[in-house]
Amino acid sequence: MEHVVVGIDVGGTTTTMGAVTRTGAIHWRGTFGTQSEGGFTAYMKKLCQTIEELKAKVDAEIVGIGVGAPAGNYRYGTIQAANLNWGGKVNFVEALTQYYNLPIVLDNDANATAIGEMHFGAAKSFRHFILITLGTGLGSGIIHNGELVYGWDGLAGELGHICVDRQGRDCACGRKGCLETYVSANGLKRTVFELLARRTIQSSLREFSYRDLSAHHISNAALSGDKIALEAFQITGHLLGLKLADAVAHTSPEAIVLFGGLVNAGALLFEPASRSLKEHMLFLYNPGMPLLPSALPQADAAILGAAALAWQKMKQTKTILEVTG
Amino acid sequence: MEHVVVGIDVGGTTTTMGAVTRTGAIHWRGTFGTQSEGGFTAYMKKLCQTIEELKAKVDAEIVGIGVGAPAGNYRYGTIQAANLNWGGKVNFVEALTQYYNLPIVLDNDANATAIGEMHFGAAKSFRHFILITLGTGLGSGIIHNGELVYGWDGLAGELGHICVDRQGRDCACGRKGCLETYVSANGLKRTVFELLARRTIQSSLREFSYRDLSAHHISNAALSGDKIALEAFQITGHLLGLKLADAVAHTSPEAIVLFGGLVNAGALLFEPASRSLKEHMLFLYNPGMPLLPSALPQADAAILGAAALAWQKMKQTKTILEVTG
């Protein structure tokens, strides 16, 4: 019987899951609301019901479970769910182990995406790369020698919080001037608002309130030649390239992959980012360092990332078995 | 018979070596000039003569050779010796393999020191740490899970060249504003000269030419209460802590170890550096992150680092043998 893993993405609003083969084919998709009455106990019950539904529908053997979650910790299997009614930190893996005697692995969504890109996406041929997610914030996962760099506490790869300007923009982390306050969908919007204040030139973006303006509006304006929007992308790409050059000096990857909504802006982002990366990188490193867009299908990226965590664990176990056996 | 490895430090002027036990005892020390007539071929001959001398004197079995060199590359076993008469890049490991049928490993001196601290020094109890060498420049070695982070090309861990200010000080790498132009013995001197120009207060350092001023003079002045010298250390420590906070966000170590001449300044450097590290680190990380001075004896650090490279390789091989056998 074919082997599959269950990939589970625990979003703030919706939990989605699928049965995923070794080559990334998704056989079944399930979804339910993450928040419901009864807190974490009720959630776990609903989750297991959905897995049972999946088992009934899919003619394959489930060999593992992978879970991606925004504040998931790989080392401890926990989710620190500030925005959920789960009463603080929960040990998700421990809870799920009570239902399923399978390898279960949990990680934050940026790390899951990094492993996803390595198994099914843009990084299939790489063993050393950095994955950057550009959504509301900036997340990252660093792959070295085909494995995630976790650090001693599972918290490595927080590139959204490296310093651009400690006297700069307020960050959700409580400090000022972190990279994600400049380079992210939200950072792009903040840059537009600074430019609207600084420049006097006309811009269609002057019609939007801060609340209403989205990265999508800014991309469209840039594509129509709006100078404020174009400059905002130049600044965003410049800072991204500058900080990626520093990241290269840490772990010397063979490529960098960008993922997330902002990546849809295409050349608007990649052109200044690539130029800045090349300009700022130490001469020792490959001046042609590939800066690539994600190759995961956007709608299924979260399921594929979560599933890849499980396949990655399977692979490690298998390697050990092969070496010992 | 006791096992030892030969630790060889290839300096620009002098090559030093010793026979080093698994616990870091040095049984014999040899030294000869690195530069001599006859180029690399003559050098190799002299090196092997000295190893033979060592073999004759030491009642122990040599089980490996480790080599540390400023521009050594672990992946390729090469030394890019711009300041030596060896005619550019030489494959040191390949050349030495023709004489000795032993595990031979070569690396740059910052990486060798990192492995040295893990085997014999301040990082014996750590499996995740960052080693910073503060000499004329700034070097670094990143240890993750008990292994050096090499990156795909062996060139990871060049923290001396992360960006402080791209409009800043000229760097030997051809760019501007790299960390080592601020945080190093030379960087400290440059900061003193900026302060001598900016401030009007008295300072004993106004007596020195740029050529004559050393970090040692600046330390002594600071210890005597010289305000320029004290401010220069505050600035240096501040920048070091700021950039170490960013480094923590990359690989999340459990400790950071500082090595090199500048470390002798003690609290003058460690106090502002620790304060700045704590102030700038993301809240997720250990606010008590240890920032430690090297615990390698300074005179033998280079030999111990080189020897540790060999012992580390031995350990990896042994692990594989244990797993398979």
Quick one: tokens of A97? 């182990």
Spatial separation of the C-alpha atoms in residues A273 and A263, rounded to whole Å = 11
Spatial separation of the C-alpha atoms in residues A323 and B113, rounded to whole Å = 31
Quick one: tokens of B78? 């090469």
Spatial separation of the C-alpha atoms in residues B171 and B175, rounded to whole Å = 6
Q: Which residues of A sit within 8 Å Cβ distance of B? A: 126-128, 142, 144, 149-159, 161-163, 166, 173-175, 242, 245-247, 249-254, 280, 282-286, 320, 323-324
Check CB contact under 8 Å for A251 and B142: yes
Give the ipTM.
0.93
Contacts of B174 in chain A (CB under 8 A): 283
Check CB contact under 8 Å for A324 and B324: yes
Q: Which residues of B sit within 8 Å Cβ distance of A? A: 126-128, 142, 144, 149-159, 161-163, 166, 173-175, 242, 245-247, 249-254, 280, 282-286, 320, 323-324
- Check whether residue B106 and residue B143 sit in a common domain: no
Contacts of A44 by beta carbon, 8 Å cutoff, 6+ apart: A95, A96, A99
Q: Are A240 and A187 in contact (CB under 8 A)?
A: no
Check CB contact under 8 Å for B251 and A142: yes
Spatial separation of the C-alpha atoms in residues B155 and B74, rounded to whole Å = 9
As to burial, measured by CB atoms within 10 angstroms (0-12 exposed, 13-18 middle, 19+ buried), residue B193 is middle
- Check whether residue A134 and residue A81 sit in a common domain: no
Q: How many CB atoms lie within 10 A of CB B13?
A: 9
Region at A306 (left for phi over 0; alpha for psi -120 to 50; beta for the rest): alpha
- Check whether residue A145 and residue A96 sit in a common domain: no
Q: Quick check: B323 pLDDT over 60?
A: no
Contacts of A323 in chain B (CB under 8 A): 320, 323-324
How distant is the Cα of A30 from the closest Cα of chain B, in angstroms? 33
Spatial separation of the C-alpha atoms in residues B140 and A159, rounded to whole Å = 19
Spatial separation of the C-alpha atoms in residues B268 and B252, rounded to whole Å = 26
- Check whether residue B228 and residue B107 sit in a common domain: no
Mutation test of the interface with chain A: which of B252, B286, B316, B317, choosing the one with the most A Cβ atoms within 10 A? B252
Contacts of B320 in chain A (CB under 8 A): 323
Phi and psi at residue B92, to the nearest 5°: -70, -45
> What SS3 state is found at B281?
coil
Query: Is A137 a domain residue?
Result: yes
Contacts of A200 by beta carbon, 8 Å cutoff, 6+ apart: none
Q: Quick check: B48 pLDDT over 90?
A: yes
* Residue carrying structure tokens 């023709």: B98
pTM of the model: 0.94
Nearest chain A Cα to B320, which residue? A323
Check CB contact under 8 Å for A254 and B156: no
Say which of B156, B175, B253 has its CB closest to residue A152.
B253
> What SS3 state is found at A311?
helix
- Check whether residue A20 and residue A144 sit in a common domain: no
How distant is the Cα of A130 from the closest Cα of chain B, in angstroms? 10
Q: Are A166 and A177 in contact (CB under 8 A)?
A: yes
Mean per-residue pLDDT for B189-202?
Answer: 98
pLDDT bracket for residue B325 (50, 70, 90): very low
Mean per-residue pLDDT for B68-80?
Answer: 91
**What is the pLDDT at residue B324?**
47
Check CB contact under 8 Å for A280 and B127: no
* Residue carrying structure tokens 């398979």: B324
Mutation test of the interface with chain A: which of B143, B150, B161, choosing the one with the most A Cβ atoms within 10 A? B161
Q: Are A258 and A296 in contact (CB under 8 A)?
A: no
- Check whether residue B200 and residue B305 sit in a common domain: no
pLDDT digits 0-9 by tens, B282-302: 999 999 999 999 999 989 999
A to B CB pairs, distance under 8 Å: 125
Say which of A149, A285, A286 has its CB closest to residue B251.
A149
pLDDT digits 0-9 by tens, B85-116: 888 889 999 999 999 999 999 999 999 999 99
- Check whether residue A265 and residue A133 sit in a common domain: yes
Q: Are A305 and A113 in contact (CB under 8 A)?
A: yes
Instruction: State how many domains chain B has.
Output: 2
Contacts of A171 by beta carbon, 8 Å cutoff, 6+ apart: A161, A177, A178, A180, A181
**What is the pLDDT at residue A193?**
98
Q: Are A42 and A99 in contact (CB under 8 A)?
A: no
Q: B185: domain CATH number? A: 3.30.420.40
Say which of A158, A159, A284 has its CB closest to residue B284.
A158
Query: Is A104 a domain residue?
Result: yes
Quick one: tokens of B129? 């740490």
Check CB contact under 8 Å for A252 and B127: no
Query: Is A120 a domain residue?
Result: no
Query: Is A160 a domain residue?
Result: yes
Mutation test of the interface with chain A: which of B131, B148, B167, B246, choosing the one with the most A Cβ atoms within 10 A? B246
- Check whether residue A45 and residue A73 sit in a common domain: yes
- Termini Cα distance of chain B: 24
Check CB contact under 8 Å for B159 and A250: yes
Q: Are B157 and B110 in contact (CB under 8 A)?
A: yes
Query: Is A121 a domain residue?
Result: no
Check CB contact under 8 Å for B283 and A249: no
Say which of A154, A246, A251 has its CB closest to residue B156.
A251
- Check whether residue A288 and residue A172 sit in a common domain: yes
**What is the pLDDT at residue A324?**
47
Domain that residue A73 falls in: 3-115+298-324
As to burial, measured by CB atoms within 10 angstroms (0-12 exposed, 13-18 middle, 19+ buried), residue B319 is exposed
Query: Is A284 a domain residue?
Result: yes
Query: Is A103 a domain residue?
Result: yes
Q: Are A256 and A138 in contact (CB under 8 A)?
A: no
Spatial separation of the C-alpha atoms in residues A251 and B157, rounded to whole Å = 6
Quick one: tokens of B79? 């030394």
- Check whether residue A86 and residue A156 sit in a common domain: no
Q: Quick check: B158 pLDDT over 90?
A: yes
How distant is the Cα of B175 from the closest Cα of chain A, in angstroms? 8
- Check whether residue A277 and residue A309 sit in a common domain: no
pLDDT (tens digit, 0 to 9) for every residue of chain A, 325 residues total?
899 999 999 998 999 999 999 999 999 999 999 988 889 999 999 999 999 999 999 999 999 999 999 889 999 999 987 777 888 889 999 999 999 999 999 999 999 999 999 999 999 999 999 999 999 999 999 999 999 999 999 999 999 999 999 999 999 999 999 999 999 999 999 999 999 999 999 999 999 999 999 999 999 999 999 999 999 999 999 999 999 999 999 999 999 999 999 999 999 999 999 999 999 999 999 999 999 999 999 899 999 999 999 999 988 776 555 554 4
- Check whether residue B138 and residue B224 sit in a common domain: yes
Contacts of B284 in chain A (CB under 8 A): 155, 158
What one-letter code names the amino acid at B128?
H
Mean per-residue pLDDT for B44-53?
Answer: 96
